[in-house]
A and B are shown apart, each in its own frame.
Chain A
Amino acid sequence: MTQPSVKQVWEWLETIPDPEIPVITLVDLGIIRNVEFHGETCVVSVTPTYSGCPATSMINMDIETKLRDCGLDHIELKQQLSPAWTTDWMSDKARTALEKYGIAPPQPAGGPQRCPHCGGTHLEKLSQFGSTPCKAQWRCQDCLEPFEYFKCI
């Protein structure tokens, strides 16, 4: 096949869901930092969300599988540590999708703005940590439901 454009590769990458939060894509999450061709090799730079995140190897595999399915044979995945990932890189589309899915999106204030279930604003933190490294556990005192909050880092 003829070499696809970088823009085309980004479009392919935009269809890969995050393995743990499938309503957002890897591109939405902001962890794909660069795509370029070195000769025939497509080099994709990926930055980890949390250093020990067990989804990292799954994410790399998903990227490689997707690009192979799209016809690319020479793929190189580069881990990029700096600058460190920040939730500022998450797209607005992803923030909306997270809230709809029941996860409060990250806020610079350091805590959720409102309950993703009922919109209540009387909230309490249960734990700094949640079911994945990127989330914390909160509870809404209006509807009494617990919910997850995507930590702002």
Chain B
Amino acid sequence: MAVDQEKLLQFLLRQGDNTLILGHRVSEWCGHSPILEEDIALANTALDLIGQTQMWLGYAADVQGEGKSADDLAFLRDAWDFRNVLLTELPNGDFGRTLLRQFLFDAFQSVLMGRLMKSSDETVAAIAAKASKEVAYHVERSADTVVGLGDGTEESHARMQEALNYLWPYVGEFFASDDVDAAMAEAGIAPDPASLREEYDALVGKVLADATLTIPASKYAHKGGRTGYMHTEHLGHLLTSMQWLQRAYPGCEW
């Protein structure tokens, strides 16, 4: 039986919106990083994320079947139509918080992409195979930096612990599955994200322990991004900047 196309679309928007919104956030660092190497690394990470977005949202637009492009989906939807997890839209904060957010996301992607490479949907499998190579580089770098800063000076350690206390309540949303995930799992397109938690916790737990950081005890999770129920107040501000050109000059192309 063919999978419900509306649910497949939602699944693809979740993938593409995660990489789009985080990619835009990371690109905000361009020209502002502490040192040149990090500036280049952040810009390259953002570039990979935007490249992955092109593939996810390109496929989403095909599935939607309304003749739209990846650009239309990126630049002409409003905040309530976005399906990214809340973690990706949170403000950058300092360099440490940006890299910790990146690590928490990269770790999830590294687990998820490995599974999606075996998707029953050929296009999903092809995108994941491509993305997984980039994700492997991202997670290596973000994990290294988290350990370097966490197990660094008193000042850097304190900032990283503060960043973890702020970001950790947003991690639970990765695993908050719903009927879209159930349909994807049944069709063999994607795993139920809840089933990835153990592997994620093992990976993240090891790196954060090496970084001498303490995971907050509270299990509370902020939700509402991947379902579109309610985003944080930060998403709208991000969109005004990201979508400005297309909104002011509709149809404008390079």
The answer to whether A and B belong to the same complex is yes
Chain A interface residues toward B at CB < 8 A: 48, 50-54, 81-85, 126-131, 133, 137, 151, 153
Given contacts A52-B48, A54-B47, contact A82 B40 (CB under 8 A): no
- Please, which residues of chain B bring their CB within 8 A of the CB of A133? 44, 47-48
- Please, which residues of chain B bring their CB within 8 A of the CB of A83? 129
Q: Give the residues from 118 to 135 in chain B that come closer than 8 angstroms, CB to CB, to chain A.
A: 122-123, 125-127, 129-131, 133-134
Q: Which of A48, A50, A53, A82 is close to B125, meaning CB atoms less than 8 Å apart?
A: A82
- Please, which residues of chain B bring their CB within 8 A of the CB of A151? 137
Are A84 and B133 within 8 A (Cβ)? Answer: yes
Are A129 and B41 within 8 A (Cβ)? Answer: yes
Question: Once bound together, how far apart are the Cα atoms of A130 and B38, in whole Å?
Answer: 10
Question: Once bound together, how far apart are the Cα atoms of A131 and B90, in whole Å?
Answer: 28
Question: Once bound together, how far apart are the Cα atoms of A127 and B39, in whole Å?
Answer: 11
Are A127 and B126 within 8 A (Cβ)? Answer: no
Are B41 and A50 within 8 A (Cβ)? Answer: no
Are B126 and A128 within 8 A (Cβ)? Answer: no
What are 27 inter-chain pairs, A to B, with CB distance below 8 A?
A48-B130, A51-B54, A51-B55, A51-B130, A51-B134, A52-B47, A52-B49, A52-B50, A54-B47, A81-B127, A84-B129, A85-B130, A126-B37, A127-B38, A128-B41, A128-B140, A128-B141, A129-B40, A129-B141, A130-B40, A133-B44, A133-B48, A137-B37, A137-B40, A151-B137, A153-B136, A153-B137
Q: Is B110 an interface residue (CB 8 A)?
A: no
Closest to B48 in A: A52
Q: Is B102 an interface residue (CB 8 A)?
A: no
Question: Once bound together, how far apart are the Cα atoms of A48 and B51, in whole Å?
Answer: 10
Interface magnitude class on chain B: 20 to 34
Q: Is B45 an interface residue (CB 8 A)?
A: yes
Question: Once bound together, how far apart are the Cα atoms of A73 and B26, in whole Å?
Answer: 42
Are A127 and B37 within 8 A (Cβ)? Answer: yes
Closest to A133 in B: B44
Given contacts A51-B52, A131-B40, contact A84 B130 (CB under 8 A): yes
Min CB gap B31→A, angstroms: 15
User: Does more than half of chain A's interface fall in helix, strand or loop, or is it mixed?
Assistant: loop
Q: Which of B45, B48, B122 is close to A51, meaning CB atoms less than 8 Å apart?
A: B48
Closest to A81 in B: B126
Q: Which of B40, B129, B134, B141 is close to A50, meaning CB atoms less than 8 Å apart?
A: B134
Question: Once bound together, how far apart are the Cα atoms of A153 and B133, in whole Å?
Answer: 6
- Please, which residues of chain A bring their CB within 8 A of the CB of B37? 126-127, 129, 137
- Please, which residues of chain A bring their CB within 8 A of the CB of B122? 82
Interface centre among A48, A82, A151 (most CB of B within 10 A): A82
Are B45 and A82 within 8 A (Cβ)? Answer: no
Question: Once bound together, how far apart are the Cα atoms of A117 and B129, in whole Å?
Answer: 34
- Please, which residues of chain B bring their CB within 8 A of the CB of A50? 47-48, 51, 134
- Please, which residues of chain B bring their CB within 8 A of the CB of A52? 47-52, 54
Min CB gap A47→B, angstroms: 9
Further contacts, 12 of them, CB under 8 A, given A81-B126, A153-B136, A153-B137: A50-B47, A53-B47, A53-B51, A81-B55, A83-B129, A127-B141, A128-B41, A128-B137, A129-B40, A129-B45, A133-B48, A151-B137
Closest to A80 in B: B126
Are B52 and A129 within 8 A (Cβ)? Answer: no
Question: Once bound together, how far apart are the Cα atoms of A84 and B38, in whole Å?
Answer: 27
Closest to A130 in B: B40
- Please, which residues of chain B bring their CB within 8 A of the CB of A84? 126, 129-130, 133
Are A82 and B129 within 8 A (Cβ)? Answer: yes
Closest to A57 in B: B254
- Please, which residues of chain B bring their CB within 8 A of the CB of A85? 130
Min CB gap B59→A, angstroms: 10
Closest to A85 in B: B130
